[in-house]
Amino acid sequence: LNGIDITRLKMCIHQSLDDLASINNATASTFSIGTSYEGREMKAIKISKSGETRPAIWIDANIHAREWITGAVCNYIIDQLLNSNETEIQSWLDEYDFYILPIANPDGYEFTHTTDRFWRKSRSENGSPVGCIGTDLNRNFDFHWLENGGASSNPCSNTFAGNSPFSDSEAANMRDFLTSISSRLVFYLSLHSSGQYILFPTGFDDTPIPQYNTYMSIGNLAAEAHGIRHGTNFTAGSVYNLMYTATGSSMDWTWNALKANLTFTYELRDKGQFGHLLPPDQIYPSATEFMDGLKVIMTELSREY
């Protein structure tokens, strides 16, 4: 960060959302789903040609602060929705309303810029032991919360589930907004890194969800498309099968409580070489290969729902 004005850096994702919305004011507007523990806006962008009557698609990124590639890819998706000259992408706006939150954990994100590049959690204080800060927001949702070893009750742990479901305002704000659009919510997408996985519910146990075969076939089709451009290898499967037990995630809650038709969590590049320190020259290839697979998912989405 040598020589870079940190104050400007912190603000630039939110500023760019406002700029995009004002340039595209017929279809885009920014809004806040609430504030974080430290009082930052959770700024989102709505991209809609309908005035909010169409089936809704939600995309979030950076629930985990250090996963910087996710906010960058999220910004590219926004750019493509607003500026692509491909008729395929333009047609999505004739069918759906998009709600996109690029920085779901603004306090943690700021902390990764100022103090600790590898910070993951929120920045809330959770009592004793003093000095252990932060909840894993992706363990703070109310789906088998803190069950089955899929999260920790220790505030010092990087997978601390919080003091109760939705104890952290960032998770509660997401719950409230998602609930407000739940009757229209057809697709929930959460961007994480890394590992190159296309994940679907659940992270609780190995019981296949009723829609398992549909998810598996859409995931496999998307994986194939993600690989065409650069040969990047994505693998599709449930969180529990491909990764580990993880309870209280935003995806599992949205799938279970809101019955969104499709819910995916992505682990973007890479597979461990650079991890969270993915070099900037991989941002653009990550974003474009992501769009290739997103097109497949969107095609399947409009076919099925």
Which amino acid is it at 109?
Y
CA distance 65 to 58: 19
Q: Which is nearer to Zn ion, 175 or 192 (CB)?
A: 192
| Interface residue with ligand 0X9, options 121, 144, 192, 269 (CB under 6 A) | 192
Residue 239 binding partner per list Zn ion, ligand 0X9, none, with a CB distance cut-off of 5 to 8 Å that depends on partner kind: ligand 0X9
Residue 121 binds to Zn ion (criterion: CB under 5 A): no
Closest separation between CB of residue 297 and Zn ion, Å? 19
Residue 48 binds to ligand 0X9 (criterion: CB under 6 A): no
Q: Which residues pair with 35 in a beta bridge?
A: 41
Sign of CA dihedral 215, 220, 225, 231: positive
Tell me which residue of 294, 287, 296 sits closest to 75, measured CA to CA. Answer: 287
CA distance 29 to 47: 7
HSE of 128 in the Cβ direction (CA atoms, 13 Å)? Answer: 0
Q: Which residues in the 184-203 window bind Zn ion by CB under 5 A? A: 192
Of 267, 289, 300, 304, the catalytic one is 267
DSSP codes, 163-206: SSTT-SHHHHHHHHHHHHTTTTEEEEEEEEESS-EEEES-SS-S
How far does CA 12 lie from the centroid of its chain? 19
| Interface residue with ligand 0X9, options 71, 108, 203, 293 (CB under 6 A) | 203
Neighbours of 124 (CB within 10 A): 23
224 is catalytic: no
What are the structure tokens assigned to 134, written together? 């932060």
Per-position x/- string for 244-263, each x denoting binding to ligand 0X9 as judged by CB under 6 A, each - no binding: --x--x-xx-----------
Q: Which is nearer to Zn ion, 48 or 238 (CB)?
A: 238
Closest separation between CB of residue 94 and ligand 0X9, Å? 31
Residue 134 binds to ligand 0X9 (criterion: CB under 6 A): no
Residue 265 binds to ligand 0X9 (criterion: CB under 6 A): yes
Which residues contribute to the site for ligand 0X9 (CB under 6 A)?
Answer: 64, 67, 138, 192, 199, 201, 203, 239, 243, 246, 249, 251-252, 265, 267
What is the contact surface with Zn ion in residues (CB under 5 A)? 64, 192
